[in-house]
Structure 1
């Protein structure tokens, strides 16, 4: 089933709903869109920070601590 058919079927179903249920559908659509927006924003921030050269100098720095320096190991 392609996108246009799914949209048409969904709109047909929404048109059959009583007015009282339309606000619930609208709220749910707003929720779904906000999840998409949050995901896009999160991916953008991750890409921005991974592409950033701000902390690149740390790659050349030697490690100060190792696993042997731990006093206790947690599982």
Structure 2
């Protein structure tokens, strides 16, 4: 079904609901929009942090210890 058809069908069904139930539907739609907004913010934050050079100094740090430094090796 196309988006327009789904909207028309939902609007037709909603018009038959009592006012309290229409308010619940409206609240649910608001909830869905907030989830979308939160996901967009999260995606943008992840992109910014992955593109950031703040922790590049950790990539250049040499290893302090190696396998030869172990006293006991896990079996």
TM-score bracket, normalised by the shorter chain, equals 0.7 to 0.9
Counterpart of 1:58 in structure 2 is 58
**TM-score normalised by L of structure 2:** 0.79
Q: What SS is found at the alignment partner of 2:26?
A: helix
Structure 1: state its 5+ residue gaps: 70-75
Counterpart of 1:11 in structure 2 is 11
Q: Give the length in aligned residue pairs.
A: 70
* Structure 1 stretches of at least 4 aligned residues deviating more than 6 Å after TM superposition: 66-69
**TM-score normalised by L of structure 1:** 0.79
- Deviation by residue 1:6-64 (Cα, 9 ceiling, x = unmatched): 11111111111111211111111111111111111101100000011111121110233
Aligned Cα root-mean-square deviation (Å): 2.2
Distance in 2, matches of 1:6 and 1:40, equals 24
Distance in 2, matches of 1:34 and 1:24, equals 15
Structure 2: state its 5+ residue gaps: 71-75
